[in-house]
Amino acid sequence: MKKSILLSGLLCASVSVFAQNTNPVVSKEKTAFQTSSPWIPEIDVRSDIAIVYGANDRKGMTFEQRVKSWRDHGYEVNFMTGIAWGEYFDYVLGKWDGKNHMNVTQINIKGDSIMHGHNMPYIVPDQSFIDYMKMVVVKKVIDNNISTIFLEEPEFWAKSGYSPLFKQLWQKYYGFPWRPQDASAEDTYLSSKLKYHLYYDAIKQVSEYAKSYGKSKGMNIKVFIATHSLVNYSSWQIVSPEASLASLPSIDGYIAQVWTGTSREPTYFNGEKKERVFENAFLEYGSAVSMTAPTKRKVFLLTDPIEDRVHDWSDYKRNYQATFTAKLLYPMVNNYEVMPWPERIYTHPYPVPNSKEKILIPNFYSTQMQVMVNALNSMPLSSNKVSGVNGIGVLMSNSLMFQRFPTHNGFEDPQFSIFYGQTLPLVKRGVPVQTVHMENLGYPATLKDIKVLVMSYANQKPMTADVHTNLAKWVKHGGVLVYIGKDDDPYQSVMEWWDTKGNKFKAPSQHLFKLLGINPTKENEHFKIGKGTVYVLRQNPKDFVMTANNDGAYIGLLKQAYEKDAKAGELKFKNSFYLERGPYDIISVVNENADSQPYKVTGPVIDLFDPQLPVLSEKEVKPGEQALLYVVNRVADKNKPQVLAAAARAYDEKVQGNSYSFVVKSPAKTMNAMRVLLPAQPKTTTVTNSAGQTVSDVQSLWDASSKTLFMGFANSPDGVKVELTW
């Protein structure tokens, strides 16, 4: 979970740096970061948007002052706050309405409170909390002329559900007395379904209030949800509304919170449990994209150069590259949260390996990170697709979160392996498998490009009969459906639509099969239905990854379904993912693959994962590695002087005759490295600070093969001016 690092001493001491206004950022609302801090020079990231976190006042500083500090430095200011936890002490401890509200705390089976911090419970969102969020938090933010609000992490722990308040809400929702979720699979399912509903309703009410109150003040308020992926919440045993919110008129989009901390969760593949950060991140981002794309909601993809857990800088760097690459492999998205909490990245020390020493972020990493972050400011959308077969999808639903805790009747899904059993065998063979949300099946775009759809009810259940109506229609029009599962888990007979109100199906798949007009009786069957095909494989998908060398039959079936039934061409396997986005090459080579050859790119290319920004005649990417390359030959106008890559953001660019000048800005106490494209080798290079003084310590090196000049010097948030003549 993303935790705010307040660093209160540093931040309060920084009030004096609420400096005069600098050149404003022209907001494209493309890149953002979130921060609890006021502006300080060490964290002046130079994205389009500063998302100010939390509406509370601080000792020596009001919320209004924090907001003003970022506006004074040219930022578009948005707002974020937790919707399931936060510094809501005035509410929890009774200052707001005279009533102590610690009763809203989520409680587990042992009677223990689930807390995010001191006097900061994970909340059961009753009406009093919803009213508080409206009248105290949202109103205050809108009154400060902030028109975009992010509600973060609507989280209900699967292990909770034992508080008196939750029992009351159960009775109100279901119309019968509370039942402990550990008593049966049905009780677990019903408990999770209620948790899901409570946060759906809370967000619906708060977002509708924000829109309405903003309208009364002549403002067009946008409300976004900042949330982990459905893959991660299901894995971590947390319940949240997720995809259902994408259809709410009062929700404008999401931040997909994917980072090292979520993606390093170990998974099984080929019988081995270990971290697979790139592969996991690729699936996490994919689930966020499939959740939003059919509904045309905006989504920001997040990465974090560090994570909540303490590791060393080399660990952070390696995993940041993996998650960052996975993010860029979704070319239909070009909005990014470049980092959360820059204050903890730039001002907090972390361990040195094999030492008791801790150090601040090293220059080599901060420079590389800033090159990557500034690449996002210009990262284009692209109609290109990731190399390989893009027509295979895996069906997923919010109900994936409903079967995770506790276990019943021997049903187990270690490390969420039923899902990974359907996906990792493809990802590990270089197939960019897509995830497809059941909640979006009513939108034509959801299955538009899917040739073969894999589904299982071993770890999820359809929440409406419409899921099957839409699937049957798709199959009859030519889709190929692969159903995998024994339908023997204890959740098959929970109290749901398929076995209530006149329906008497023993498993939800029976309803689907009836609509398709089939009656599977064997372990492995396939049926022709209309123009389409249905395969039924009576195996548990987790066995494909939890047992070594056990995914061959599954892959063979998919190959037949794709090539012969879908007639979609050859299902090719490889060990790499490659995408061209404008001048950028994005590459990842997976390991645990029979092919151990590196992926080679011919230059000249600039290596953006190297803080020296070398120009390479060839780049090799080995298994287990990733690369972000700037391809010089794909520059749109090679005769136009321009900054191709930099650990700072460029402003005020001017080209006059044989001269080119610009100003670059980036956080204090960091080093800039940049590659500048020029028509010819420069004759003069002049670098001056914001006071007009010459900067003497400047690295400068011309590369004739790419016609680029490398420059290196100390960064400044006040700006460093570069003037070049040739």
Residue 542: inside a domain: yes
DSSP 65-81: HHHHHHHTTT-EEEEEE
* Per-residue confidence band for 29, with pLDDT thresholds at 50, 70 and 90: confident
* Per-residue confidence band for 385, with pLDDT thresholds at 50, 70 and 90: very high
pLDDT digits (tens, 9 = 90+) for 123-159: 999 999 999 999 999 999 999 999 999 999 999 999 9
| Per-residue model confidence (pLDDT) at position 1 | 57
Q: Which two tokens mark 118?
A: 């001191």
| Per-residue model confidence (pLDDT) at position 395 | 98
Same domain, 669 and 617: no
| Mutual angle of helices 313-328 and 277-292, in 10-degree steps | 40
Residue 662 three-state SS: strand
Same domain, 418 and 554: yes
Residue 81 has pLDDT above 90, yes or no: yes
Residue 547 has pLDDT above 90, yes or no: yes
- Residue finishing a domain among 512, 541, 565: 565
DSSP3 helix / strand / coil % (the chain, rounded to 5): 30, 25, 40
Residue 540: inside a domain: yes
Same domain, 441 and 528: yes
165 near 126, Cβ under 8 Å? yes
Same domain, 405 and 442: yes
Averaged pLDDT, 264-280: 98
| Structural domain that includes position 717 | 642-725
Same domain, 594 and 710: no
Same domain, 615 and 467: no
* Per-residue confidence band for 2, with pLDDT thresholds at 50, 70 and 90: low
Those residues with Cβ within 8 angstroms of residue 222's Cβ, 6 or more apart along the chain or in another chain: 147, 148, 149, 252, 253
Structural domains of the chain, count: 3
Same domain, 479 and 622: no
- Residue finishing a domain among 634, 652, 667: 634
557: domain CATH number is 3.40.50
What is the spatial distance between Cα 118 and Cα 522, in angstroms, rounded to a whole number?
56
Residue 581: inside a domain: yes
- Residue finishing a domain among 613, 634, 655: 634
Residue 147: inside a domain: no
Same domain, 409 and 556: yes
Same domain, 400 and 438: yes
Same domain, 622 and 581: yes
pLDDT digits (tens, 9 = 90+) for 553-562: 999 999 999 9
| Per-residue model confidence (pLDDT) at position 5 | 38
Same domain, 605 and 692: no
Residue 10 has pLDDT above 80, yes or no: no
246 near 291, Cβ under 8 Å? yes
Same domain, 581 and 690: no
Residue 427: inside a domain: yes
Helix (H) or strand (E) holding 35: strand 31-35
Residue 56: inside a domain: no
Those residues with Cβ within 8 angstroms of residue 322's Cβ, 6 or more apart along the chain or in another chain: 260, 263, 277, 278, 281, 588, 626
Residue 11: inside a domain: no
Residue 371: inside a domain: no
